[in-house]
A and B are shown apart, each in its own frame.
Chain A
Amino acid sequence: MYDLQEKEPRIETQPSLRVCGVTLGLMPEGAGWWSDERLLVVADLHLEKGSAFAARGIALPPYDTRATLARLEALIEKLKPRTIVALGDSFHDRAAASRMDASDAAHLTRLAKNLDWVWIAGNHDPVPPREFGGTVMEELRLGPLTFRHEPQAAPSTGEVAGHLHPCAAVRVRGRRLRRRCFASDGTRLILPAFGAYAGGLNVLDVAYENLLPGFDFHAWMMGARTVIPVSARRLEAD
């Protein structure tokens, strides 16, 4: 049976959450927005993941970098940020920049030129390439918040991190829905991966046990037009 009733576009309010008193807007594209600082934060771009597989004989379509950059550019145009923080694993591996198509590289350089761009080092890119401009940092502290790649064991107050590619699954009226998500208990925030080919790891996985213990957190699941907070108690494991 096909139900067409929900096709009407609905007006959605832009959800937000507080981390250590800082209000962060959650974009359905998978980015965080600190409007007071005009700061846009994205995690795990994994640029050139496609070509990394191609080098191993799996010729995935070579368009993941341009798809990721196009989504990022759309967000930049919408929000006009002053600063962008890329939370590490921005490049899929050390050779990513050398495999990047010239037009994609030029696109990234152009985006980075007009902004205060911070590359946080990640495990895939411990030394992010310098040719695209921006500043490389291990972590960035700003007000009560700390931006770093890999989340540290709780308590880690005010931490904004990526690395784990959180996703969540919930069952509604018998139907299971699985989406990328933000995960937060109000003291810290873990961002979803932004990269076009990045997979996901369920927030109930044991990898999150020391980060978001118990069920006292929410997964902010990515819908098509908005982000929807779901209590951890409602979630299902993979």
Chain B
Amino acid sequence: MTKPLPAPKEAEPQGAILPPAFTRWFEARGWRPRAHQLALVGLAREKKSALLVAPTGAGKTLAGFLPTLVDLATNPRKTRKLHTLYISPLKALAVDVKRNLEMPVAEMGLEISIETRTGDTPQNRRLRQRREPPDILMTTPEQLALLLSYPDAKDFFGALDCVVLDELHALANSKRGDLLALGIARLSRLAPGLRRVGLSATVAEPDELRRYLMPQPAEGESFSEIVVAPPGAVPEIAVLTPMEPGAEEGGEARIPWSGHSARHALPAVYEAIRANRIVLVFVNTRSQAEFVFQELWRLNEDALPIALHHGSLAAEARRKVEAAMSAGSLRAVVCTSTLDLGIDWGEVDLVVNMGAPKGASRLLQRIGRANHRLDEPSRALLVPANRFEVLECEAARAAALEGAQDGMVARLGALDVLAQHILGCACSEPFDPDALYAEVKSAAPYRALPREDFGKVVDFVATGGYALKNYDRFARLRPNAKHEGDMRLRAASPSVIQQYRMNVGTIVEAPMLKVRMIKSRGRRPVGSMGGRYLGEIEEYFIDQLSPGDTFLFAGHVLRFEGLAETEALVTKSNAAEPMIPSYYGGKFPLSTYLAARVRSMLAHREQWSALPPQVREWLEIQAWRSVLPGEHNLLVECFPRGDRYYLVCYPFEGRLAHQTLGMLLTRRLDRAGARPLGFVASEYSLAIWCLRDSGLMHERHELPLGELFAEDMLGDDLDAWLAESSLLKRTFRDCAIISGLIERRYPGMEKTGRQVTFSSDLIYNVLREHEPDHILLRATYNDAATGLLDVGRVAEMLKRVRGRITLKRLDRVSPLAVPVLLDIGKVQIDGEANEALLAEARDSLIEEATRLV
């Protein structure tokens, strides 16, 4: 899965490469330039692009900018033009890096201007920046797209020498990465010879990133140079298995069968906070963050300063936490992936990961948050919430100690992002479709884009691209000067350009409501009552609440009072047990690499010695009562329970893939007459219950399992299921917004009463019925197949287990099946069952009174 990285490039002797001012600066600080820093300066002199792979704390940022500083210091320009563009996935990171870079620039006395440009930059400064650009501009992929959409883009970027892409591993494999790749392709045309530098944490397949950095030729592939910094010290990682309260040393560990809260381990986590100086407590979801924060404060007898940080909190609250963190006045922060990347917290001495880390790379990234010094090991504590997570944590620990990484799934550039980019190009200057196609294909994610698809996307941008040609007179793209034969396409009107600028970007947030704390209760709450603004929460979550319900948010138990326009009004509640937001565990599915390690650990008994006795015993009983899942096969267990027959399988492919598999298997079981009634999927296994015994059906050759799990289920069955499923609607909405078909909702722009002018669900229904092969539905399907449905993983798994299905018929539930069976009833019923629920609301009296027959 992982391959060793190439050896570091031999660096030239330092004196030959750095100007004296730089050498003196390093000496004054008592530092020596690192080999990888010098290597990048050397490559820059040869005008070569490069990927720098380095662990946290290796001076990655300085390495990226050193060539720029050297060039600007030794070759002064007559007029100031933009020399280097720095792009980061987080605006906070752009600000942070600017601060870090200003120090050496000031201390060396260099005349170099550095500025940031983010969504927060005031309008007048943005205008000024376009007139008088700085030497170095720090920005985000969205701002780059905006800058490229101005008519003066050629002039602005014409002298650009270098673009630095920070945290490239986090950016490249996403829609934002697609948008950025298209932007870089455009930059290369505006500034020929542009040098690209990618900065990345350690990745399993650096070639993906090396290719991403380079303009791709029409034939073959092109890769950037690579510089690899030596790895940091091996981290110290422990897996927490708390003791039964009152038990002696070596007593029995108490690990729940299922669940994700890890409540049992929180006293031990609190002890860890007490024993360290600053602890980052990572969780996987916002609701988990709220829960853990609340529980830690319940235990916090010493009143240690423990804070909460997640993406839904008010920006002001988040900044306060960040400031307190930098000042060292906090002992712990409970946070989500908002703190995964970049910003240097200095003195963190322990990272706690609640629940399973889901991926080896994510774990390494999080561990890197502790102790930004290379020579000292980072310390981390993994806290599994249930027995399967113990296995996952042990596998992740072993992977992290080896420095092994998750593989990267190469992605194809998204068509909705391409549509947005094409409109942006048309806003800047007229384009010739053939020339733009060549430019787009030079971006690595789009290197395999067929000309026909490109043409369809251009049509989509112009008129919606429908088979029914009804909108030509409303076209957003028009020939530049038709009567002169100039058929290049441009934006049809200033309002089209404005529309583009309002909607740029690929991040579609779920609709959010502001949460405001009010005082009074009892009377019907009204809006604009003032009250403290706590943050924003997903509209669909609030939709699930009735007035009077309590939930955790911003570290308080809140009572929902009602809605007033776009605000959710809440009061402080004294309830001890809130209704906890449901667990959205699907956010990070278990990585393929980690899943393989878990399977391998189960298959190799000698590795069990690292496991707590209770988990070991659980596996022993499984081996005795049933069998253990092997490394390469698929274990299927069939057993009766109550009046049903269960089929439980253990693919270890993550919840999303298991859900897809469950949907498809139940269709097949239904056709074969097994009468399936329902299923539930976890990260590790899938349970289906039927009225007939599918194990018996297999033995009677009525339903061979080999056929049940045959790969052809991903053909017609998948299509048929998608046709009747509402799953794609949400994905469609995102694609429709990114592609510019419908506009983003901005706070204050909606009508009161939240009456939207149209709903994307209605549009989806009509489009699907009347033009099912429309380019936007294709984009939606592609998205869902990779994200929501994880079809690729289901396919890989089915291929892997072909001819290797182990059936075990049992007379009752097996130990390994208990966790997934415990999930039944905890997860909400979905889909067609809504119809049955609606029927339950029926007022039968009125119906009887008025019924005709």
Contacts and interface: CB of A to CB of B under 8 A. Distances in A.
B759 interface: yes
B743 interface: yes
Interface string A218-238: 100101110011110010111
B466 A61 contact: yes
A142 interface: no
B606 interface: no
Contact of B743 (A58, A61, A229, A237): A58
Max chain A Cβ within 10 angstroms of own Cβ: one of B743, B758, B769: B758
A109 interface: no
Contacts of A123: none
Given A63-B769, A175-B834, A16 B842 contact: no
B847 interface: yes
A106 B464 CA distance: 24
Interface residues of B, number: 72
Interface string A51-94: 10111011111111011000000000000000000000000000
Given A15-B850, A16-B850, A229-B847, A175 B837 contact: yes
Nearest to A64: B766
A54 B741 contact: no
Contact of A3 (B678, B765, B774, B826): B678
Given A57-B495, A61-B767, A101-B470, A15 B851 contact: yes
A85 B743 CA distance: 35
A59 B741 contact: yes
Max chain A Cβ within 10 angstroms of own Cβ: one of B471, B544, B546: B471
B723 interface: no
B753 A57 contact: no
Contacts of A61: 464, 466, 763, 766-767, 770-771, 774
Max chain B Cβ within 10 angstroms of own Cβ: one of A4, A63, A225, A230: A4
B753 A238 contact: yes
B420 interface: no
Contacts of A170: 838, 841
Nearest to A172: B837
A130 interface: no
Contacts of B247: none
B835 A6 contact: yes
B766 A196 contact: yes
A202 interface: yes
Interface string A1-33: 111111100000111111000010100000000
B563 A237 contact: yes
B767 A1 contact: no
Contact of B839 (A7, A50, A199, A223): A223
Interface string B458-490: 000001101010110010100000000000000
Interface in B684-730: none
Contacts of B828: 1, 174-175
A2 B830 contact: yes
A198 to B, nearest CB: 8
Contact of A238 (B463, B563, B824): B563
A201 interface: yes
A15 to B, nearest CB: 6
Interface of A, helix, strand, loop or mixed by DSSP: mixed
Interface string B215-241: 000000000000000000000000000
A218 B831 CA distance: 25
Nearest to B475: A59
Contacts of B831: 2
Contacts of A228: 838-839, 841-842
B835 A224 contact: yes
Max chain B Cβ within 10 angstroms of own Cβ: one of A18, A57, A173, A202: A57
Given A2-B678, A3-B833, A101-B468, A197 B766 contact: yes
Given A58-B742, A63-B766, A179-B838, A197 B758 contact: yes
B853 interface: yes
Contacts of A171: 546
A101 B770 CA distance: 14
B662 to A, nearest CB: 7
A63 B852 contact: no
B664 to A, nearest CB: 12
Contacts of B499: 57
A154 interface: no
Interface residues of A, number: 65
Contacts of B824: 1
Given A205-B753, A223-B839, A57 B474 contact: yes
A31 B853 CA distance: 20
Max chain A Cβ within 10 angstroms of own Cβ: one of B493, B741, B756, B824: B741
A6 B836 contact: yes
B842 A49 contact: no
Nearest to A222: B838
A199 B755 contact: yes
Given A1-B825, A6-B835, A54 B676 contact: no
A55 B835 CA distance: 37
A216 to B, nearest CB: 11
Interface in A164-195: 170-177, 179
A172 to B, nearest CB: 4
A99 interface: yes
Max chain B Cβ within 10 angstroms of own Cβ: one of A18, A54, A198: A54
Contact of B471 (A17, A51, A218): A51
Contacts of A66: 770
B762 interface: yes
B583 to A, nearest CB: 13
Contacts of B543: 176
Contacts of B544: 174-176
Interface in B45-103: none
Interface in B85-137: none
A221 B470 CA distance: 35
B10 interface: no
B471 A14 contact: no
Contacts of B767: 61, 63
Interface in B655-672: 662-663, 666, 670
A199 B758 contact: yes
A228 to B, nearest CB: 5
B835 A223 contact: yes
Given A49-B758, A63-B769, A221-B838, A55 B830 contact: no
Given A2-B662, A58-B742, A196-B762, A230 B755 contact: no
Interface string A94-124: 0000010100000000000000000000000
A176 B837 CA distance: 9
Contacts of B677: 3-5
Interface in B232-272: none
Nearest to A7: B832
Nearest to A170: B841
Contacts of B409: none
B846 A218 contact: yes
Given A15-B851, A205-B753, A2 B769 contact: no
A201 B759 CA distance: 12
A99 B473 CA distance: 10
A227 to B, nearest CB: 10
A161 to B, nearest CB: 18
Which 3 A-B residue pairs are closest in the complex by CB-CB distance?
Answer: A59-B464, A63-B770, A1-B827
10 contacts: A1-B825, A2-B663, A54-B474, A57-B474, A59-B474, A171-B546, A198-B758, A199-B759, A229-B847, A230-B843
Given A1-B824, A57-B496, A172-B840, 16 more contacts: A1-B679, A4-B676, A23-B852, A50-B766, A51-B471, A62-B470, A62-B471, A67-B765, A67-B770, A172-B837, A173-B837, A175-B834, A176-B543, A197-B763, A199-B762, A236-B546
Interface of A: 1-7, 13-18, 23, 25, 49-51, 53-55, 57-64, 66-67, 99, 101, 170-177, 179, 196-202, 205-207, 218, 221, 223-225, 228-231, 234, 236-238
